[in-house]
Amino acid sequence: QVQLVESGGGLAQTGASLRLSCVASGRTFSTYVMGWFRQVPIQERAFVAAISRNGNNTKYEDDMEGRCTISRDNAKNTVYLQIDSLKPEDTAVYYCAAKEGFALEDNPDMYDFWGQGTQVTATS
């Protein structure tokens, strides 16, 4: 079992940049595809980004392409999500997730482990 802990959320001005971090426990971090999802009340948990095990491949939700960057540092057991040009509609709880295998998946049901979430609030 891997434990995931997100941090870096909070209140930020629209137009600003924010970087979220997710630290994984254990020694198997590099065996997981990592993803970021977000969720607002009454909505389904929505895909934001995913990154391959070695960090060489990434996948983004279409509307986030160019404004969002996912990265990872396997030596630190950490995956990051940077959101640039923050918009009010980015306000959500952001979740870090891990899955076994190689495929970058946008379906949350395919992920095996989840963090507790971190709140991001963009002021308007």
- pLDDT tens-digit series, residues 91-124: 999 999 999 999 999 999 999 999 999 999 999 8
Residues near 82 by Cβ (< 8 Å), separated by ≥ 6? 17, 18, 19, 20, 68, 69, 70, 71
- In tens digits, the chain (124 residues) has pLDDT values of 899 999 999 999 999 999 999 999 999 999 999 999 999 999 999 999 999 999 999 999 998 879 999 999 999 999 999 999 999 999 999 999 999 999 999 999 999 999 999 999 999 8
